[in-house]
Amino acid sequence: MAGNIDYEVMSAGIRGMFFMLTPNESSFEKVEEVPHYVQQATPFFILLMVLELVVGFLKTGAPVIPLGDGVTSLAAGMISRLPMLLVRGCELSAYMFVWDRYRLMELPWDCAWTWWFMFLGVDFAYYWVHRFAHEVSFIWAAHQVHHSSEHYNLTTALRQSLTQQFTSWIFYVPLALVAPPSIFAVHIQLNLLYQFWIHTEMIKDLGPLEWIFNTPKHHRVHHGRNLYCIDKNYGGILIIWDRLFGTFAEEKEKVVFGLVFPINTFEILYVQLHYFFYLWGRSQTYTTLADKVSTFLNGPSWQPGKGRLGDHVDNPPVTGKEIPHQPSWSLPQQVYVVIHFLLVLRTYHDLFENKAILSHFTILGMVLYILLTLTSLGYIIDQRPTAAILETVRCVIMVTLQRYGYVAPLLSSLAVPTEAFVSLSLLYWALQGFSQLLSIKRKAD
Ligand SMILES: [Zn+2]
Ligand SMILES: [Zn+2]
């Protein structure tokens, strides 16, 4: 609401993204007092993404955020935060558990030294969270989501894993032996926020800052599948950890982004979960128990008889001429996906705003609806044969939810046009689905 803009919150939101908050304004006694910095930054995420699109277009003459890929990245970001509707983040919950029962001493929450100690502590722990996420296959199965885009832009930053938090907490709990959870709750957010703006090709070099800080230049290397990029530059805010522990690589020839073996799909649950199934399948091809277990605990390139991390001899060579997977879909379909993505984004936002007054049953139902919507939109982007049938089913559910007031229109003044649009969508996809069913039946005959 224009009249209600809180400039202090706004200022903290934007400075929080660049780690420019002082200890004085971001130290709190209780966890409950800690602002939701990530949530507050949402408008700035959008603003910077629009800016990147404009600057990118002026520089290259083409959209630097391809629609299908961008929507999939944003959808992954949404999915990764769904568990927080019901529980606190795993990392903070585990931290509070250890602090409550096992703390050895209490650093004062209102001392700048504690704040700086935690800045270094959380960033150091993040380095190891991230390194293990690349060197231990079952954690990589969670983290590969973040690397699954073949593009590198600000939406890639939000392409986050749903499952990674279930292991990353282990690396932070040693800090809970000495430092209060409220300061941890600040830094775990600031560390994540800082990593947003470095996902861009628009910034080439930042001079002396490149020595100390993780920058777009260093993080591009981390997202590369060129041989010189694999398992390099794990740092969060500081790059010094990579320089210290021998995992640093300078940006050299053109970085080709994405997984060594691209997944070529925008189906959102597949993006999140496929590697777990792949690992299970691979472990079943080995005969000894040691090899089966090693599939999960060693690096993704490990093979029996090789060292812990294996080697990369089977990697397809990177030539720099790789063309990212791009669906060919019509303009009306693109418009359709954008509108329905915005609608589900509104539903998602409303759900987080109202979670305190909704029953667990309603929240669970809405989470399933959001997952169904994102899956269905992914099917349309992928141009799958069954997309129309799935979308028809989804439209029926959406109309029902709208009737009962669980789903709000994009803007309340647009309620009638939105509903008309949704009804037309339903009709369109129902006809498509019907003709698909007929053609499936004809093939079967
Ligand atoms: Zn990574
Ligand atoms: Zn990244």
Amino acid at 171: F
Name the burial class of residue 192, with classes exposed (0-12), middle (13-18) and buried (19+) by CB atoms within 10 angstroms of its CB. middle
Of the candidates 20, 37, 25, the residue with the CA atom closest to the CA atom of residue 89: 37
Give me ligand 1 centre to Cα 22, in Å.
28
Pick the closest to residue 152 from 233, 217, 75 (CA basis): 217
pLDDT at residue 227, as a whole number: 93
Ligand with minimal distance to 151 CA: 2
Ligand nearest, relative to CA of residue 127: 1
- Burial string for 321-349 (b: 16+ CB within 10 Å, else e) reads eeeebebebeeeebebbeebbebbbbbbe
pLDDT value of residue 47: 93
- Rounded to the nearest angstrom, the distance between the alpha carbon of 181 and the centre of ligand 1 is 26
Residue bearing the bigger pLDDT, 418 or 152? 152
Tens of pLDDT, residue by residue over 343-397, are: 899 889 888 888 888 888 889 999 999 999 999 999 999 999 889 899 989 988 8
CA 80 – CA 76 distance, rounded (Å): 6
Tokens of 320: 């720099």
Q: pLDDT value at position 410?
A: 56
Mean pLDDT of 84-105: 92
Q: What is the DSSP letter of 316?
A: P
Res 338: pLDDT? 94
Q: Summarize the confidence of residues 222-247 as an average pLDDT.
A: 97
Burial of 393 (0-12, 13-18, 19+ CB in 10 A): middle
What residue has token string 């591009």? 220
What ranges do the domains of the chain cover?
A: 2-245, 331-444
Looking at residue 408, its pLDDT comes to 64
pLDDT digit string (tens) for 101-130?
999 999 999 999 999 999 999 999 999 999
**In contact, 109 and 180? CB cutoff 8 Å:** yes
Closest CA to 349 of 45, 21, 23: 45
CA of 152 to the centre of ligand 2 (A): 9
With 0-12 / 13-18 / 19 or more C-beta atoms within 10 angstroms meaning exposed / middle / buried, residue 149 is buried
Q: Work out the pLDDT band at 2, boundaries 50, 70, 90.
A: very low
CA of 251 to the centre of ligand 2 (A): 15
- Run of H or E residues at 49: helix 42-60
Ligand 1 center–CA 328 separation, angstroms: 29
345 vs 89, more confident: 345
Q: Under the phi-then-psi rule, with left for phi > 0, alpha for psi from -120 to 50, and beta for the rest, what region is 293?
A: alpha
Are 304 and 294 within 8 A, CB to CB?
yes
| pLDDT tens digits, one per residue of 246-295 | 999 999 989 999 999 999 999 999 999 999 999 999 999 999 999 999 99
Q: Does pLDDT of 45 surpass 90? A: yes
User: Between 311 and 229, where is the model more confident?
Assistant: 229
Q: Can you tell me whether residue 213 is helix, strand or coil?
A: strand
The ligand whose atoms approach the alpha carbon of 198 most closely is 2
Ligand 1 centroid from CA 127, angstroms? 10
Q: Which residue has the tokens 């599939």?
A: 295
Rounded to the nearest whole angstrom, what is the distance from the C-alpha of residue 176 to the centroid of ligand 2? 26
**Which ligand sits nearest to residue 145's alpha carbon?**
1
When pLDDT is averaged across residues 327-341 and rounded to a whole number, the result is 90
**pLDDT exceeds cutoff 90 at 86:** no
Per-residue pLDDT tens digits for 211-220: 999 999 999 9
Residue recorded with tokens 């805010």: 237
**Confidence bin at 4 (pLDDT 50/70/90):** low
Please tell me the distance between residue 223's alpha carbon and the centre of ligand 2 in angstroms: 6
Ligand 1 centroid – CA 146 distance (Å): 7
Mean pLDDT of 180-205: 96
CB of 92 closer than 8 Å to CB of 181: yes
Q: How far apart, in whole angstroms, are the C-alpha atoms of residue 124 and residue 107?
A: 18
The reported pLDDT for the residue numbered 409 is 59
Q: Which ligand is nearest to the CA of 233?
A: 1
Q: Which ligand number lies closest to the CA of residue 131?
A: 1
Measure 215 CA to ligand 1 centroid, in angstroms.
14
Q: Could you tell me the distance, in angstroms and rounded to a whole number, from the CA of residue 370 to the centre of ligand 2? A: 25
CA-wise closest residue to 150 among 251, 271, 24: 271
Minimum mean pLDDT among 83-87, 103-107, 135-139: which range?
83-87
Distance 63 CA to ligand 1 centre (A): 25
Does position 11 have pLDDT exceeding 90, yes or no? no
Answer for the pair 237, 214: CB distance below 8 angstroms, yes or no: yes
Query: Residue 404 above 80 pLDDT?
Result: no
Three-class DSSP category at 229: helix
- H-type helices in 107-207, by residue range? 112-135, 137-147, 154-158, 165-172, 181-197
Whether the predicted pLDDT of 411 surpasses 60: no
User: Ligand nearest 156 Cα, by number?
Assistant: 2
Which pLDDT score, from 0 to 100, does residue 260 have? 94
Is residue 3 over pLDDT 50?
Answer: no
Of 403 and 246, more confident: 246
Kindly state the average pLDDT of the residues 428-436.
82
Q: What are phi and psi of 27, to 5 degrees?
A: -115, 135
Share of the chain above pLDDT 70, in %: 95
